[in-house]
Structure 1
Amino acid sequence: MAATEITHLLLDFFGTIVEYSPSRTEQDYSTSYGVLRRLGATLSYDSFLTFGDATFSEHDTRCAADLSEFSMQEPSLVIMEQAIGRAPTPDETTAFVEAYLSDWNSAVLYPAGMSNLLEELAEHFRLAVVSNTHSQRLVPDHLQAMGVADLFDAVVLSVDIGHRKPHPAIYRAALDRLGVDASRALFVGDTYAADYEGPRQQGIRALLIDPRNSAPIPPTSRLVSLFDLPGYL
């Protein structure tokens, strides 16, 4: 792959730039549970985890059918109404969402050397994040915390587009914001359908982070981690 052919790198975020756990039951969700308790909820902590996980899963299943996206507020309202027996106020909903994201974020880790890697890539390519997420602030806040927000020309999120990867709209939105043709972009992520098959269907070349060699891709399209990327460019 000649470096001069590629001018823009489109990077997935969770599992690519940061390490994370998608679990809604393994992290310590006591802060968000505490918000519900202060609002009068009497359900047990385990019941909260079980119902919360089921509610998010129901939304995921519905959106997976048409590759639409939901915001954190949607399942949060269902969880809160069930827990406190009434519709929450906007301020109460905001407090719960912020607490839930804080709890979930406890499993997000910044790999050592990642900021330096992104700085190195930004010296030669224009960068964008293209991520599935239910929060408008989650990814931008992490980029700020890592000190790399200024390295990215665009942050394209499924919650803003209304469609999640691998829907064509999210890739088109990224290319449009960057003002680049698909042939000049390279997508890198860790999920086969969303980060490899989806971009390629839109004419975007792709590399997949696949350390277990589990995806049906050529060896030349496989990375162990994002740290392998400079060797392919």
Structure 2
Amino acid sequence: MQPTRILFDFFGTLVDYSRSRTAQGYPKTYATVRNWGVEVSYERMLAEWSATCLELDRICEAGHHEYSMLEAAAHFLPKILGRRSTLAQGEEFVDAYLGEWNTGVTYPDGITAYVEQLAGRYQLAVVTNTHWAALVPRHLIAMGLSGAFAEVFTSVELGRRKPHPQVYATALAALNAHPSETVFVGDTFEPDFLGPEAAGIRAYLIDPRGHAPIPADRRLTSVFDLASRL
């Protein structure tokens, strides 16, 4: 059946980004923490933050649950404050951190025109794992693509992350779409290929080095290969 809807992963698919939580450089985030009177080294701040996120990832992995940036901050900040943090501190930390983390997000040349072209032929939606719901809509606005997508589904809003079946079922139901008329494209094997395929959605994987055990006709060098495969 000819597809009528395309579900896109976001980070690593429609935009390029750094997977590191600490490599971008976080002077503003560090200044925010120090302004609270905390005597902590920059290196320890980043190490504690990385360790906190990895621990939450481990806890959530079994059931594919999702945690928010504010939840992560609530676990992390007491470690360096030596006391319970406030919601205001969590919000200030998250705002500073995401502002600097986002410097690692870049938009591929030609992506806006390419997605607009697809939007003229298919109904598009984003289905992505993220710890902050506002991130993707803000990037879509910056890319000039906020009107190209019928829906944006984020793991933090759903409470589950890909590849949990609920994520794909929710997207299909909201779009009134049948799996057979829908395709999924992403860059991570289990969430973006095995998960959709298990839900009956034909999946394409961005896998330029050919590492994933998938059929050759489902492997993409980049998202720009998708149109010729549909």
Residue 112 of structure 1: CA displacement?
Answer: 0.7
**Aligned partner (choices 129, 150, 153) of residue 153 of structure 1:** 150
Report what 1:9 is aligned to: 6
Residue 6 of structure 1: CA displacement?
Answer: 0.3
Distance in 2 (alpha carbons) for counterparts of 1:31 and 1:177:
39
Q: 1:88 aligns to what SS in structure 2?
A: coil
Instruction: Render the CA deviation track for 1:103-149: whole Å, top value 9, x for unaligned.
Output: 11110000110001100000000000000000010111111111101
Preserved contact between residue 52 and residue 76 of structure 2 (Cα < 8 Å): yes
2:182 is the alignment partner of 1:185: yes
Q: Which runs of 5+ in 2 are unaligned?
A: none
Give the root-mean-square deviation of aligned CA atoms: 0.9
Preserved contact between residue 48 and residue 79 of structure 2 (Cα < 8 Å): no
Please give the residue correspondences for 1:34-113 in structure 2 after superposition, counting only pairs within 5 Å.
34-113=31-110
Distance in 2 (alpha carbons) for counterparts of 1:24 and 1:163:
21
**Aligned partner (choices 20, 24, 28) of residue 21 of structure 2:** 24
Instruction: Render the CA deviation track for 1:17-59: whole Å, top value 9, x for unaligned.
Output: 0000111121111111111111111110000111110000000
Preserved contact between residue 206 and residue 222 of structure 2 (Cα < 8 Å): yes
The residue type paired with residue 156 of structure 1 is F
Structure 1 length-normalised TM: 0.96
Distance in 2 (alpha carbons) for counterparts of 1:33 and 1:80:
12
Distance in 2 (alpha carbons) for counterparts of 1:173 and 1:156:
8
Distance in 2 (alpha carbons) for counterparts of 1:121 and 1:193:
25
Report what 1:200 is aligned to: 197
Structure 2 length-normalised TM: 0.98
Distance in 2 (alpha carbons) for counterparts of 1:167 and 1:215:
20
Distance in 2 (alpha carbons) for counterparts of 1:150 and 1:40:
44
Q: Which runs of 5+ in 1 are unaligned?
A: none
Q: Which runs of 4+ in 1 moved over 4 A?
A: none
Q: 2:147 aligns to what SS in structure 1?
A: helix
Report what 2:221 is aligned to: 224
2:173 is the alignment partner of 1:176: yes
